[in-house]
């Protein structure tokens, strides 16, 4: 009888989770997004990892609007002899942004933490003390935490570039959005626990 009651409680709780998924699932997706309003800074830094051009275009728009004089474009490689940052700059040029707005920062970083650790000393050499870090919306919370730890003393603002494949309030409805959600949560937890 006791086991039956336990199973009944589990079944009721599981049913409640399913029926109320529209209440508890959106906050989990929205938690990953921590975008700030842009403010004037010494530089825009566009993080690597966006192969659709949303990050570079957001960074270009920030420079065009006068928030910073230049955008530094991160990018690993080489891929067929080219670094991601160089490819991103070429893409922005096809959209009408002058290449003079950008500076490529080639690197071989394998993670957001490594990327910040490589880029921050280079930015300091360029007398950067305040920066707008541009990344995909789902990547903002984790990136902001990483950059705050690495760029101690700097004024860091995180700016979200939209990602067509991720919808924070309805992330479970499409396969690409589910994949992004699960992967980003795993990385967020790993970062939180220093794994």
pLDDT digits (tens, 9 = 90+) for 128-152: 999 999 999 999 999 999 999 999 9
Instruction: Give pLDDT, residue 52.
Output: 93
pLDDT, the chain, mean: 92
Instruction: Give pLDDT, residue 21.
Output: 59
Average pLDDT value for residue range 32-61: 96
pTM, rounded to two decimals: 0.90
Rounded Cα gap, residues 82 and 110, in angstroms? 16
Question: Which CATH number is correct for 43-161, 3.30.1130.10, 3.40.50.620, 3.30.70.141, 3.40.50.300?
Answer: 3.40.50.620
Instruction: Give pLDDT, residue 192.
Output: 86
Asked whether the predicted pLDDT for residue 161 surpasses 90, the reply is yes
Rounded Cα gap, residues 29 and 178, in angstroms? 10
Number of Cα atoms under 13 Å in the Cβ half of residue 153: 5
Instruction: Give pLDDT, residue 44.
Output: 98
Rounded Cα gap, residues 70 and 59, in angstroms? 9
Asked whether the predicted pLDDT for residue 12 surpasses 80, the reply is no
Integer-rounded Cα Rg, in Å, for the chain is 20
Per-position b or e across 51-71, b if 16+ CB within 10 A of its CB = eebbbbbbbbbbbeeebbebb
- Helix (H) or strand (E) segment spanning residue 71: strand 71-75
Higher pLDDT, 154 or 192: 154
């Amino acid at each position: 009888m006791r086991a039956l009651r336990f199973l009944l409680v589990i079944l009721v709780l599981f049913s409640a989770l399913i029926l109320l998924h529209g209440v508890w699932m959106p906050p989990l997706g929205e938690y990953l997004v921590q975008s700030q309003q842009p403010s004037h800074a010494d530089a825009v830094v566009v993080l690597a990892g966006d192969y659709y051009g949303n990050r570079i275009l957001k960074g270009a728009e920030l420079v065009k609007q006068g928030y910073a004089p230049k955008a530094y474009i991160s990018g690993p490689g080489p891929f067929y002899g080219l670094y991601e940052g160089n490819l991103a700059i070429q893409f922005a040029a096809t959209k009408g942004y002058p290449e003079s707005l950008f500076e490529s920062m080639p690197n071989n970083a394998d993670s957001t933490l490594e990327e910040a650790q490589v880029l921050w000393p280079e930015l300091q050499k360029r007398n950067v003390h305040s920066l707008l870090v541009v990344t995909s919306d789902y990547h903002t919370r984790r990136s902001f935490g990483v950059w705050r730890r690495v760029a101690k003393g700097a004024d860091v603002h995180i700016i979200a570039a939209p990602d067509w494949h991720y919808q924070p309030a309805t992330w479970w409805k499409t396969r690409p959005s589910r994949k992004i959600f699960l992967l980003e949560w795993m990385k967020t937890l790993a970062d939180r626990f220093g794994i």
